[in-house]
Structure 1
């Protein structure tokens, strides 16, 4: 089914030209003035509206005001004369996506309308994903709709109400502690302590002291008996983050705790018994570390009873729009702003590889929104490495690119075919054409699998 475009212009020649320009790509409706446009909005839904600002009686600004007042989910693009740039700026403040000046650059116009349509599709995708996330879900604080994370949720549900030892694998920034907390606070130990231990940040000489505690006088400065993390977690859950960082000596003592749920404080001779669930996490390949001799095989098998692998953000890209919207809402509220991203900025955020995963995305959005001086964030506000990565992406031309309509259509068709693994029926339906027409266009543009 074709996307819908409303063209509003009081000049007959321009209306007819724009109709001929876009009719093969979109379902185009024409309005001869602002009044007719408002009447059409009362009965129809349009994805994008191309609106001339200078019209008699009901102006383009009036139409924008109507769209805003009625919360109509149409993306407006306005047409203005060079001498009316101030009106264009006013239109942008009222929610216009972009503006085109007369005399029109039709190459820029086609790309702008294409980008507005893409933005509309992204907004619809976010709305759809948010509707499918159940508010009553046990893990509703974890923002995801991807099948990769669904597998993680299934594994989590299987361990909620038992004491099975869990080992969470995942790159840095994927949210391993968030998963551990969700297991604890939705399980049968939720009213007991959750004690996280960042093994990577504790010096090797202090790891045993931190985990097992010490008796008064055990060493210089030990002025009183102090409980370690295992005792603090008694009855609840201890989360050993980056377990790969502890020494072989500490691993041997940890093995006994995992097996027997008992240990000795440093300097003590009395066994301490604990009832504790153990969840560990690692961003390293523990099997490879076993081969290298830096991790105990017996400890690995004790910890790896229930393995849960967290996918990297680049493996679940369909979650990126949700995460962007989630953090946009959080940081706008925190900093009392109303920041939005323009389409090109969104595209860069969507296409970036995110080597630091969700943590990197959160930090980038936090910084960008905090430092934003205007309500609309443009690409130059993003880190340089992201802009460079976005500039090198295939088919990422900006509206100023020297691009023909055929080239734009070719890119769009190729992108859809790649996305849907050359499923001709699916892509033809999305484009609103027959399979025969799609095959003809593939032949015309020399698009092959």
Structure 2
């Protein structure tokens, strides 16, 4: 393992004698990731061990992580040699920074959607900063997706999983090495990557970033029901994730700029995709408009994550959206609230919610009786407000979005919409609350 020796300047290999409190935190076809406490350093680390068949990827990942080290890439502390959790045969692995808040993917599952808008803008910017740095070091990530964007204590984004990285052939101007196997998640692969003879270049990451932007903005998985064969067929024909839900997000400052960037990044022609320096001009400008609200946004999300009623099933709410051509994504098809009618039915089936057992009068009474608790405990205010659609006046929507805490958002929603809208609006609010925070409705005695 020649590349592993390049890390010797960092530290001597970490062995079992240095580690305690082992816990398996992730496993899959690639291998295993453990959390352990380093006895001398006195903080938790992540130990990544790959299966024997892909052990060489560990060397590649170590080399690229070391070379691509920056504040937007998960930190590499050194190497591991030992027998984790009493395994019989010695293993080699990487000792990395432990990211206690999981990934963008796990955050979406906990929140049943995207985080509050200022955090969306920061995530988009930090990912672009990380990829831009890697490209400046002539490194590709080559597997950019929500599960590989990890989050630290303050929900800052750091890139992980360089096992599929390649040295960018376009940057090195060297002979291309043809690979018959394209790594990474197929839903984030550009159309040209489905060709067997494709040689990965930096435009691969740019396309993946466009799909990732869609996922960060919507909080959903692209093409949730499409298998590899369908994606391989339709993506080269111009299909991309559906943008109807984004169109209904309306007055989010910077949304138009991020959507325009997203569509430029996922352009079918690699030559038309913007380099990451150009992406950064957009994401930096958008994030600067919300930077003074990021602390409150992070606190709001952390409060939600730490709440005992936080989406206890951790069920993914990825919508059932078919593949869609760019022309279709610009259409003005009629939708039922922020979701198409098939989507809404699918989501209700997933969480087992029925709205038929209570009348509109009963739902309105529930909203009135529990006002104080709802103001205190509702965390998904903006998602619920968007569900109400035209029932919330644009001026009221702006006031709700501008409020710095969920409690203030709920007070404005009560004052501007629930009180004046009558039984119909309160019943719609109840239905939206059941979908986004079913545990809270159940705790307050709502009908299921």
TM-score range, shorter chain: under 0.3
TM-score (norm 2): 0.23
Determine which structure has more spread, i.e. the larger CA radius of gyration: 1
